[in-house]
């Protein structure tokens, strides 16, 4: 690690200690690097607006930062162990190309607000992706619900056959879940949309930094005002963002559970597209739903990362190097969660349900509740109707599942799925 910002003589450094300090940080910074460069450009523009940098210096720095971003995106700039972190790499690039002008870049900032602003931009970018995936998942579910409102499916409670349900109701349930997840992502995007840049090490600086300008340039809704709280919010915002991912993945987990049951020979309600299954290394007869199972486990990966991240946050006010440890769980879980969500729309669009097996799995007992409710609607007290039906369970005659579904008129149920009501929630509050 030859390029340290804070040590002029690097020959007497203990390599083991340096390695322990940096850990995998510089590799993780690859995910944040372009955001760090973008925020550095906003920072130098802010410095120019208060005349700490000249317009020419500002332009030279911004152009060099553009070159660095291009080189990194092309794979021509290696962000690796020669640097302590991405922040050092940026300053090293600028000073090696622009000399003293490059050495001015860190005026009025600290790596503490630098890492915060890069992470904040990353969170916003990631949550936008989560929000988009939620819309896509909900949209496919709505489409499939509209086409299958009357397709019978057994409704289970305790995994025991309970009442007649429909495939449309099953899909509409996931549509509404992802409308909720979408709105949670939007609310969280509003909540975390604040600019930490310009708080320096956590106590401000003796310069009238143009924080309004950097807030606007970076597209934040507002600045995060208090420098001490800004530092203390590291990890807090990350945790909230992971919570959004986790909520979505809880629904994915339930979906995956349903699919892993419904694809068994015992249920045989649905066939997965071939590409979502894998073969067995020993049993030639098998196709396994491995993708669905890994989708099911993704929620656990994110929950584990949340536990790891939140356990780091037991700290007094101010920056502490412990906080570096929030980066790995944040990035790992966010990337994994987004990759999982991205697979769901295509999977759902291509599921092949078998109307016959689902209808055959509905036995006569599953009409008992309909019968009791019918009697109650004719003014027989419900408890009496319940007993009457229970006593004659064995002689329940053949009922039709489609007729039962046509009668399911309570709002939200099979005969009145209210898909439009769910669809309207997929618009940003500002678009409504």
Positions touching ligand ARG (CB under 6 A) are 25, 85, 111-112, 115, 319, 321, 323-324, 327
With respect to ligand ARG, which residue has the nearer C-beta, 333 or 340? 333
Q: Is the dihedral of CA 302, 304, 305, 311 positive or negative?
A: positive
With respect to ligand ARG, which residue has the nearer C-beta, 49 or 324? 324
With respect to ligand ARG, which residue has the nearer C-beta, 106 or 408? 106
Minimum CB–partner distance for residue 113 and ligand ARG (Å): 9
With respect to ligand ARG, which residue has the nearer C-beta, 328 or 413? 328
Among 30, 141, 43, smallest CA distance to 83 is for 30
Q: Are 177 and 251 in contact (CB under 8 A)?
A: yes
Q: Exposed, middle or buried: residue 264 (CB in 10 Å: 0-12, 13-18, 19+)?
A: exposed
Cα separation, 267 vs 111, in Å, equals: 56
With respect to ligand ARG, which residue has the nearer C-beta, 25 or 212? 25
Among 139, 33, 138, 46, smallest CA distance to 77 is for 33
Cα separation, 344 vs 347, in Å, equals: 5
Q: Are 312 and 322 in contact (CB under 8 A)?
A: yes
Cross-strand partners of 156: 161
Among 124, 120, 127, smallest CA distance to 197 is for 120
Report the run of H or E that residue 155 belongs to, with start and end: strand 152-157
Among 171, 229, 165, smallest CA distance to 196 is for 229
Minimum CB–partner distance for residue 20 and ligand ARG (Å): 13
Residue with tokens 């629904």: 251
Minimum CB–partner distance for residue 23 and ligand ARG (Å): 9
With respect to ligand ARG, which residue has the nearer C-beta, 205 or 396? 205
Greatest distance between any 2 Cα atoms in the chain: 93
Minimum CB–partner distance for residue 28 and ligand ARG (Å): 8
Structure tokens at 6: 């804070």
Structure tokens at 157: 């409670």
Minimum CB–partner distance for residue 321 and ligand ARG (Å): 6
Minimum CB–partner distance for residue 108 and ligand ARG (Å): 15
With respect to ligand ARG, which residue has the nearer C-beta, 131 or 323? 323
Q: Are 1 and 10 in contact (CB under 8 A)?
A: yes
Structure tokens at 38: 């973008």
Minimum CB–partner distance for residue 130 and ligand ARG (Å): 23
Minimum CB–partner distance for residue 324 and ligand ARG (Å): 4
Query: How far is residue 390 CA from its own chain's centroid?
Result: 47
With respect to ligand ARG, which residue has the nearer C-beta, 57 or 84? 84
Report the run of H or E that residue 203 belongs to, with start and end: none
Q: Are 413 and 169 in contact (CB under 8 A)?
A: yes
Q: Are 309 and 328 in contact (CB under 8 A)?
A: no
Q: How many CB atoms within 10 Å of residue 164?
A: 26
> Catalytic positions, please?
158, 280
């Amino acid at each position: 690690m030859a390029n340290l910002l804070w040590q002029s003589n690097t020959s007497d450094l203990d390599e083991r200690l340096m390695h322990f300090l940096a850990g995998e940080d510089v590799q993780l910074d690859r995910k944040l690097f372009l955001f760090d460069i973008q925020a550095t450009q906003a920072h130098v523009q802010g410095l120019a607006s208060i005349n700490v940098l000249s317009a020419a210096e500002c332009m030279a720095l911004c152009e060099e930062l553009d070159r660095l971003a291009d080189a990194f995106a092309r794979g021509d700039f290696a962000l690796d162990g020669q640097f302590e972190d991405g922040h050092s790499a940026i300053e090293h690039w600028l000073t090696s190309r622009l000399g003293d002008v490059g050495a001015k870049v860190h005026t009025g900032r600290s790596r503490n607000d630098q890492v915060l602003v890069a992470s904040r931009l990353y969170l916003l970018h990631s949550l936008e992706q989560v929000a988009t995936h939620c819309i896509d998942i909900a949209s496919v579910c709505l489409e499939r619900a509209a086409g299958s409102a009357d397709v019978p499916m057994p409704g289970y409670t305790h995994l025991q056959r309970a009442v007649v349900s429909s495939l449309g109701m099953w899909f509409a349930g996931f549509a509404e879940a992802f409308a909720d997840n979408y709105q949670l992502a939007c609310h969280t995007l509003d909540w975390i949309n604040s600019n930490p840049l310009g708080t320096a090490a956590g106590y401000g600086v003796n310069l009238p930094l143009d924080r309004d300008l950097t807030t606007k340039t970076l597209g934040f809704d507002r600045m995060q005002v208090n420098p001490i709280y800004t530092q203390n919010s590291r990890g807090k915002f990350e945790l909230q963002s992971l919570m959004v991912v986790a909520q979505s993945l809880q629904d994915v987990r339930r979906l995956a559970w349903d699919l892993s049951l419904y694809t068994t020979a015992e249920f045989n309600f649905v066939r997965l597209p071939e590409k979502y299954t894998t073969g067995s290394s020993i049993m030639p007869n098998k196709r396994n739903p491995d993708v669905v199972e890994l989708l099911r486990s993704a929620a656990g990966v994110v929950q584990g990362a949340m536990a790891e991240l939140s356990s780091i946050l037991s700290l007094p006010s101010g920056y502490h190097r412990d906080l570096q440890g929030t980066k790995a769980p944040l990035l790992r879980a966010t990337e994994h969660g987004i990759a999982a969500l991205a697979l769901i729309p295509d999977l759902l669009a291509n599921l092949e349900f078998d109307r016959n097996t689902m209808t055959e799995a509905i036995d006569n007992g599953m009409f008992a509740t309909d019968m009791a409710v019918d009697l109650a609607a004719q003014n027989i007290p419900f408890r009496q109707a319940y007993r009457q039906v229970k006593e004659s369970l064995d002689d329940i005659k053949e009922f039709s599942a489609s007729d039962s579904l046509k009668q399911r008129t309570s709002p939200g149920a099979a005969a009145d799925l209210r898909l439009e009501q769910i669809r309207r929630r997929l618009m940003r509050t500002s678009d409504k």
